[in-house]
Amino acid sequence: MEPTLIDKPRALNYYCANASEINSKLKYAKIIGTGSSVPKTVLSNSDLEKMVDTSDEWITSRTGIKERRIADENTAASDVAYKAAEKALKVACVSPQNLDAIIVGTVTPDFVFPSTACVLQSLLGAKKAYAFDLMAGCSGFLYTLHVAEGIIKSGGAEKILVIGVDILSKITDFEDRSTCILFGDGAGAAVLTASDKPGILSSILSSDGDDWDLLYVPAGGSRTPIGEEVLKSRDQYIKMKGNDVFKVAVKSMESATINALNKANVSPEDIDLFVPHQANYRILEAVRKRLNFPEEKVFANLDKYGNTSAASVPLALDEAVNKGRIKEGNLVLFAAFGAGFTWGASVVKL
Ligand code: ACO
């Protein structure tokens, strides 16, 4: 079957300054543009009431989620990522032809291979860039930021497009009420540049592979390829021990956040907005209380989108920027936790 990619768009041309040589003496990696995109179709809690034994009241009180966006059968990660990238590049005034690298954080690539980053490179016409995917579950965007910062600081690139995108609906079991109420689809993008002005001030990443099987997709990889038995057992879909994940998520996000603040030498009071991974309102609240953040300093949009995995932090970041909740010069704190387990936090001056 022919892969259904979106129509190849005409060349984008947003670069507002002269392309300069990569300058490894520039000290910081700075975010100069953000963008996001979600599919049009809304799946509300009342829709889910008709599909599994659940209720709007249960979902809202246990998670804070009211609705999520679901991709149609012809839409893959690169399609949604392209729309987010287009917006971020436009805001950053950077043309795809001037990108040195594209890094995509995702657990739902278009194909097993090639990478979604390469498919996106083709859609954008970013001929000069090297492109690769990175898998870190819901922490995917923070991992892409960290890697991109390292590349920029080492002089390996000047302009990098980083994306967090997931189309979890394609690996969600809509007969399993413990998971299908949580997830949604989306993409968020950021353009990073080498700069002499402060940008990413600190970035902390951690993993603990011992608990990989608390949140995973059993089949579809080299351990258990998809076959008839798999389809019967529904092992091509996400399996999660939600309660266990919840406890580790709160502890890990708290410790990563404290470490990121210390590394950046800033206190919680210095932070203008905390943009955490949007998994569950109760997780956000638990982390917020432990860190003593006032409610108005925490950005949440999970009521509209659910847990969009790697897209969650950049989707929230872009919405916060567009709503005027983040202005130039503000200090923003990111934190995320996901499958692996992986987690991390980052302090960024916008
Ligand atoms: N509707 C109604 N009842 C439900 C539903 C549902 N959708 N789902 C579970 N229940 C029932 C359970 O069967 C259980 O019933 P029982 O007491 O009769 O056995 C009861 O509700 C309580 O279930 P718990 O699992 O204990 O509910 P909990 O309060 O832990 O909430 C949840 C579950 C929302 C999944 C929570 O544990 C959570 O958010 N965990 C974290 C998930 C997460 O953050 N994942 C992060 C990364 S995702 C990634 O990386 C891709």
Residue 16: pLDDT over 70:
no
Q: Grade residue 110 by pLDDT with cuts at 50, 70 and 90.
A: very high
For the stretch 222-275, pLDDT in tens is 999 999 999 999 999 999 999 999 999 999 999 999 999 999 999 999 999 999
Nearest to 159 by CA among 124, 183, 210: 124
State the distance from the centre of ligand 1 to the C-alpha of 176, rounded, in angstroms: 11
Give the homologous superfamily in CATH for domain 28-197: Thiolase/Chalcone synthase (3.40.47.10)
Residue 136 Cα distances to 96, 183, 190, 335, 340, angstroms: 25, 16, 17, 13, 7
Q: Flag whether pLDDT at 7 surpasses 60.
A: no
User: Which protein residue's CA is at the shortest distance from atom 2 of ligand 1?
Assistant: 54
Map residue 24 onto helix, strand or coil: coil
Identify the bridge partners of residue 183 per DSSP, sorted by sequence position.
307
Let me know if the fold of 28-197 is the same as that of 202-349.
yes
Q: Whose CA is nearest to atom 27 of ligand 1?
A: 243
pLDDT per position as a tens digit, 121-165? 999 999 999 999 999 999 999 999 999 999 999 999 999 999 999
| 19: confidence class by pLDDT, cuts 50, 70, 90 | very low
Half-sphere exposure of 340 (CA within 13 A, CB side): 25
Determine the longest span between alpha carbons in the chain, in angstroms.
58
Q: What is the C-alpha radius of gyration for the chain, rounded to an integer number of angstroms?
A: 19
CATH-assigned architecture of domain 202-349: 3-Layer(aba) Sandwich (3.40)
Full-model pTM: 0.93
Residue 341 and residue 214: Cα distance in Å, rounded?
A: 9
Which of 288, 286, 311 has its CA nearest to residue 299? 288
Residue 146 bears catalytic tag: no
Pocket test for ligand 1, best of 43, 50, 62, 143 (most atoms within 8 A of CB): 62
- What's the chain's average pLDDT? 93
Q: What are phi and psi of 246, to 5 degrees?
A: -55, -50
Residue 5 has pLDDT above 50, yes or no: no
Which one of 214, 245, 253 would you pick to mutate in the ligand 1 pocket, going by the greatest count of ligand atoms within 8 A of its CB?
245
Q: Whose CA is nearest to atom 11 of ligand 1?
A: 178
Let me know: does 65 contact 59? Beta carbons within 8 Å. yes
Query: Rounded CA gap, 143 and 104, in Å?
Result: 10
The Å distance, Cα 132 to ligand 1 centre, comes to 34
- Residues sharing a CB contact under 8 Å with residue 146, sequence separation 6 or more, in sequence order: 203, 205, 344, 346
pLDDT at 107 over 90: yes
Determine the distance separating the centroid of ligand 1 and the alpha carbon of 179, expressed in angstroms. Answer: 7
pLDDT tens figures, 301-335: 999 999 999 999 999 999 999 999 999 999 999 99
Query: 180-222: per-residue pLDDT in tens?
Result: 999 999 999 999 999 999 999 999 999 999 999 999 999 999 9
In the set 45, 138, 180, 280, the catalytic residue is 138
Active-site choice (45, 180, 277, 301): 277
Catalytic (active site) residue 180: no
**Segment 60-72 mean pLDDT:** 98
- The per-residue pLDDT for 23 is 57
User: How remote is the CA of residue 289 from the centroid of ligand 1, in Å?
Assistant: 21
In the chain, where the domains are located:
28-197, 202-349
- Alpha-carbon span 42 to 206, nearest angstrom: 34
3-state DSSP assignment of residue 69: strand
Regarding the beta carbon of 167 and ligand 1, being less than 6 Å apart is answered no
Q: Give residue-wise pLDDT tens across range 279-297.
A: 999 999 999 999 889 999 9
- For residue 277, indicate whether it is catalytic: yes
From residue 29, alpha-carbon distances to 148, 192, 339 in Å are: 8, 6, 27
End-to-end CA distance of the chain: 44
pLDDT in tens, 24-58: 566 899 999 999 999 999 999 999 999 999 999 99
